[in-house]
């Protein structure tokens, strides 16, 4: 569903045939410039999917990212710094340009300044500190489009998983205990907002296809393999993958993702925070990644190296845990002389992020409750308006 101003039109996501006008060379000469903006804190595949859908509506995607100060004023403290958030959005493969320190309220002035035809946002609502819709002006002027919000992921949900310390979010574990938690986490006094609340993510082959590049290695490409959990895909991962990508003139980077149970074996606690389906989309959204092996074997053995014709195997500065038989998982690539340790210079790990959340737990819980309370107030106002219109219509008909 895409809404233009107050008009809604149905569209089958990413499957619609080009309109007849798109075949006209004259009309296709003009580049359609699209604007998105947001906090993009703890960037996850929901953010990436919004940007993917927005890019599909035009030709050139500009993304405005708010400062730490603006986010703290309107929502509460962000988990990541603005520098980290800027870099994360630059690494998202559908983004052509970013605007640092974009205003929190989207105006026609901003769209005109960057020569954008319209802005795109998900089908939830973003409110200022005083409860006003940040897209009100562009909606009224017909320069607003809407894309489907990705079900099953939100920053609220991810923070909840870290604090709860259970494994119920893993791909093959019953989620009853986790659901009890999400029913209460950040819940305001008037119940759940459909935008802040948690829902289940269901992976589909279509979603993977939409995120995947679909490109095969070409003659002359250097095929580089890296493996790991890539949990809570973050700036540390991005800078490592960027370093890997720069290691060859024509890189083709394959990321091997370990299954949830394998990650839990060597990481322990409630890791991974994101399950294998979620981690797959997060990694595929990165512009430095060409392909993902879902459920890659922990040991990088002969079969894997030969099957993908791997030229190089790289690992960052994180600890290499032994396999279940206590052997080195990189023994084969080391034997072939194709193994390299690479240092991106970024020491951020998933453990550090979780620690940030735990240390600021009360602030984040308060932020979620404040956000949900504002959303519930809007829902109540909309419901009241709808009821009034129904009553008015009934009186008119009588």
What is the DSSP annotation of 293-314? Answer: EET--SS--HHHHHHTT-SEEE
Angstrom distance (rounded) from CA 330 to CA 178? 36
Which two tokens mark 147? 């894309």
Cβ count near 355 (within 10 Å):
12
CATH topology match: 33-147 vs 205-341: yes
Helix and strand numbers, DSSP H then E, in the chain: 16, 12
Residues of the chain with pLDDT under 50: 1-23, 175, 177-199
Give the other-Cβ count within 10 Å of 134's Cβ: 19
Query: For domain 33-147, which CATH number applies: 3.40.50.620, 3.30.70.3190, 3.40.50.300, 1.10.150.20?
Result: 3.40.50.620
The two three-digit tokens of residue 47, written as one number: 């953010």
Q: Angle 388-125-184 (CA atoms, 0-180°, nearest 5)?
A: 95
Q: How far apart are CA 371 and CA 127, in angstroms?
A: 8
Residue 311 Cα distances to 289, 314, 344, 373, angstroms: 16, 10, 20, 54
Distance CA 64, CA 110 (A): 10
Q: State whether the Cα torsion 154-163-364-197 is positive or negative.
A: positive
Q: Write down the architecture of domain 205-341 according to CATH.
A: 3-Layer(aba) Sandwich (3.40)
Q: What is the pLDDT of residue 74?
A: 82
Give the integer Cα–Cα distance in Å for 135 and 36.
11
The pLDDT value recorded for residue 367 is 58
Order the strands of the 291-294 sheet from edge to edge: 291-294, 251-257, 222-228, 312-315, 339-341
Whole-number pLDDT of residue 255: 98
- Reported as type and span, the H/E element at residue 225 is strand 222-228
| Angle between helical axes of 276-284 and 45-56 (0-180°, round to 10) | 40
Please report, in angstroms and rounded to a whole number, the separation of the first and last CA atoms in the chain: 35
Q: The dihedral of CA 96, 102, 106, 112: what is its sign?
A: negative
Locate all alpha helices (DSSP H) within 316-360, ordered by sequence.
331-336, 350-359
Distance between CA atoms of residues 132 and 120, nearest Å: 18
- Distance (Å, rounded) from C-alpha 135 to C-alpha 386? 21
Our CA angle for 49, 101, 45, nearest 5°, is 15
Q: Looking at the DSSP assignment, which residues form a beta bridge with residue 133? A: 127
Give 313's Cβ-side CA count (13 Å radius). Answer: 24
pLDDT reported for residue 156: 73
Task: Report the pLDDT value the prediction gives residue 258, as an integer from 0 to 100.
Answer: 98
CB-CB contact of 61 with 55 (8 Å) = yes
Give the whole-angstrom CA distance, residue 188 versus residue 179. Answer: 17
Q: Using CA atoms, how far apart are residues 210 and 19, in angstroms rounded to an integer? A: 20
How confident is the model over 50-84, as pLDDT tens digits? 999 999 999 999 999 999 999 988 877 888 999 99
Partners of 353 in the beta sheet?
none
What are the structural domain ranges in the chain? 33-147, 205-341, 352-397
The tokens describing 81, both together, are 């710094």
d(C-alpha 42, C-alpha 59), whole Å: 26
DSSP 3-state of 179? helix
């Amino acid at each position: 569903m895409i809404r233009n101003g107050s008009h809604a039109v149905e569209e089958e996501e990413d499957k619609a045939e080009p309109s007849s006008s798109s075949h006209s060379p004259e009309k296709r000469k003009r580049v359609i410039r699209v604007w998105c903006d947001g906090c993009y804190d703890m960037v996850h595949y929901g953010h990436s999917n919004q940007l993917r859908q927005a890019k599909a509506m035009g030709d050139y995607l500009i993304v405005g990212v708010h400062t730490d100060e603006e986010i703290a004023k309107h929502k509460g403290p962000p988990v990541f710094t603005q520098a980290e958030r800027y870099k994360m959005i630059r690494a998202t493969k559908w983004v052509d340009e970013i605007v640092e320190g974009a205003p929190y309220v989207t105006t026609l002035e901003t769209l005109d300044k960057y020569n954008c035809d319209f802005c795109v946002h998900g089908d939830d609502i973003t409110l200022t500190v005083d409860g006003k819709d940040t897209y009100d002006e562009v909606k009224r002027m017909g320069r607003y489009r809407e894309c489907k919000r990705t079900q099953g992921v939100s920053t609220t949900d991810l923070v909840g998983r870290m604090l709860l310390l259970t494994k119920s979010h893993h791909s093959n574990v019953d989620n009853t205990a986790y659901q009890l938690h999400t029913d209460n986490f950040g819940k305001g006094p008037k119940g759940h907002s459909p935008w802040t609340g948690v829902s289940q993510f269901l992976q589909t082959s279509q979603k993977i296809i939409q995120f995947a590049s679909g490109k095969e290695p070409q003659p002359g490409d250097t095929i580089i393999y890296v493996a790991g959990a890539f949990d809570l895909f973050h700036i540390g991962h991005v800078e490592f993958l960027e370093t890997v990508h720069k290691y060859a003139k024509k890189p083709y980077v394959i990321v091997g993702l370990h299954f949830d149970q394998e990650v839990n074996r060597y990481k322990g606690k409630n890791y991974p925070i994101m399950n294998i389906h979620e981690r797959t989309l997060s990694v595929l959204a990165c512009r430095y990644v060409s392909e993902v092996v879902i459920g890659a074997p922990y040991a990088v053995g002969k079969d894997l190296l030969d099957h993908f014709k791997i030229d190089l195997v790289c690992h960052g500065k994180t600890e290499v845990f032994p396999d279940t038989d206590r052997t080195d998982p990189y023994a084969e690539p080391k034997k072939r002389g194709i193994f390299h340790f690479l240092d991106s210079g970024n020491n951020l790990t998933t453990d550090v992020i979780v620690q940030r959340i735990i240390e600021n737990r009360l602030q984040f819980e308060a932020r979620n409750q404040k956000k949900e309370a504002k959303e519930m107030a809007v829902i109540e106002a909309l419901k009241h308006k709808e009821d009034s219109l129904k009553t008015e219509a009934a009186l008119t008909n009588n």
